[in-house]
Structure 1
């Protein structure tokens, strides 16, 4: 799971070349031609600035950092998806404000926390871990990366080289997936079947925001929504819930058929308003912030997160980047 700060950069470069050799000009016409050339240069500069400003105002922001991205992404929201097949079925529907803990570094070693939900790794935990949590009256969300290739997963050999593209920055060996690939979707279907067989109540599919990164593929918010429709239909068919991970650009399009949002660092990046549609429809935003000083957090650092007005009503936890057992909630 990638959990690094984003690198969003818009660049604008303008270069104007000076006129060439003008030694052929006659003494009588030199002033006229100098004025004419000066006018042309000014016109070129004006056009260049106009184009540059247009790029600066409308250009999207890329992100190679994976999870650490709150996922603002595209500026124009997609309309809500109307695929009724993605909502069919009987499955767990948690309420806004549901308490939670997330442990992905290893199987949780302390399950005594007074929380309702554990988000744990699909592959690193066996069915007995999940049944133990169920016996403690907890619901279990199973994490897996739906949008990236990880080299050390049990099913990694099933991906074709054409299925994965550029590497996730900061995560050697992990590559963005072509989520439109039939083979990729077949593998994800098998992962959902595995989650069901282990007793997971829901799934947390990560890295669905390849459209907002330099993935090596032609991905877009629309293809991401299509992929999530595919995952939701399959998950709901197993009576499992499913949520959105970051990907703020597609909240509006997916809030109707997904059961929660898992967001990282929206306070840090001042974009929690993107995820409010979930709480406004009674669904939880499972929210994580990574204070630099964790696990030693000052009262002021804690309050800056927990008192953030835009994150009011979110299920906020403070974690270390490696998502081990340590947690502090608001």
Structure 2
């Protein structure tokens, strides 16, 4: 297939794609208390020469399929066992854990560590509330423990989800700069714990945050006409892991692979099923 660089793509009307199947499942021993876990290695490196040649998998629900033909796996750090991460790492797979940093669910075993004053309006996930990201002194130790779980299970990178509260109705007067500071602090925290930091969505801030993060994860930039806003990462030879939930790879791959993204088609439940775009 001939790849052509295009800056525009046909899009479809906006719809919500996050579902209960995407929710990060937490368990009490994992997040409710601090556990000292030995690092399994250095943060994941992303060689510039490989930037346009990654194949990736994003799975947060269903039984993990370790046979998927991908060299990068974005996974739930709680549902994924240390044995599974060891199996994937033995095959030289790069592992990213997804952590929700800007919201908390009432069912999370560490929810009590977030004072009521830091919990705001209903979040985008079921039974979740947005957090006041200005309260860094309160949030940092809780999030550090979540990052430590990732590191201890063998993940080398962390993808920050719900890192865009400033653009939502959180119940707090958060602004663009509040979110920038929070996200940069999280990137620094991740590095201090031997994790490579990545950002999930938060498209309006990608240009400002490109120097601070090692990779970006994006949902539906083609449908939403946002792909050009991810170019600060691609132009810096940093991976852009992109997914579309509708449409055919025959339609959107020409655009996204031309931009230099690692693109796949998936169901919004983020189970094992995937259709990857071909490499350039």
Equivalent residue number for residue 328 of structure 1:
275
Deviations 1:83-114 (A, max 9, x none): xxxxxxx6323242221101011451x21122
Given the alignment, which residue of 148, 155, 173 partners 2:110? 155
- Are positions 1:306 and 2:259 aligned together? no
Equivalent residue number for residue 216 of structure 1:
171
Deviations 1:8-52 (A, max 9, x none): xxxxxxxxxxxxxxxxxxxxxxxxxxxxxxxxxxxxxxxxxxxxx
Deviations 1:264-307 (A, max 9, x none): 01000111000011110001110010017xxxxxxxx2222112
Q: Between 202-211 and 221-230, report the one with greater CA deviation.
A: 221-230
For residues 252 and 67 of structure 1, the distance between their equivalents in structure 2, rounded to whole angstroms, comes to 24
Equivalent residue number for residue 22 of structure 1:
none
For residues 88 and 207 of structure 2, the distance between their equivalents in structure 1, rounded to whole angstroms, comes to 32
| SS of the residue 1:239 aligns to | coil
Partners of 2:97 and 2:157 within 8 A in 1: yes
Change beyond 3 A, Cα 1:197–1:148? same
Partners of 2:227 and 2:256 within 8 A in 1: no
Equivalent residue number for residue 279 of structure 1:
234
Deviation at 1:67, TM superposition (A): 5.7
Following superposition of structure 1 onto structure 2, how do residues 34-73 of structure 1 map, counting pairs within 5 Å?
none
Given the alignment, which residue of 175, 189, 193 partners 2:129? 175
Equivalent residue number for residue 56 of structure 2:
100
Equivalent residue number for residue 3 of structure 2:
none
For residues 107 and 88 of structure 2, the distance between their equivalents in structure 1, rounded to whole angstroms, comes to 26
Unaligned regions of 5+ residues in structure 1, if any?
Answer: 8-64, 69-89, 293-300
Partners of 2:73 and 2:93 within 8 A in 1: yes
Equivalent residue number for residue 24 of structure 2:
none
Unaligned regions of 5+ residues in structure 2, if any?
Answer: 1-12, 20-41
Q: If the length of structure 2 is used for normalisation, what is the TM-score?
A: 0.79
For residues 272 and 206 of structure 2, the distance between their equivalents in structure 1, rounded to whole angstroms, comes to 29
Equivalent residue number for residue 318 of structure 1:
265
Partners of 1:201 and 1:241 within 8 A in 2: yes
Equivalent residue number for residue 199 of structure 1:
154
| SS of the residue 2:92 aligns to | coil
Deviations 1:211-265 (A, max 9, x none): 1111111212211221122111121112210111111111111111211000001
Given the alignment, which residue of 237, 243, 252 partners 1:288? 243
- Are positions 1:260 and 2:212 aligned together? no
The count of residues paired between Structure 1 and Structure 2 equals 238
Partners of 1:179 and 1:185 within 8 A in 2: no
For residues 258 and 146 of structure 2, the distance between their equivalents in structure 1, rounded to whole angstroms, comes to 32
| SS of the residue 2:45 aligns to | coil
For residues 222 and 127 of structure 1, the distance between their equivalents in structure 2, rounded to whole angstroms, comes to 37
Equivalent residue number for residue 62 of structure 1:
none
Q: If the length of structure 1 is used for normalisation, what is the TM-score?
A: 0.68
Change beyond 3 A, Cα 1:112–1:319? same
For residues 201 and 218 of structure 1, the distance between their equivalents in structure 2, rounded to whole angstroms, comes to 34
Change beyond 3 A, Cα 1:156–1:309? closer
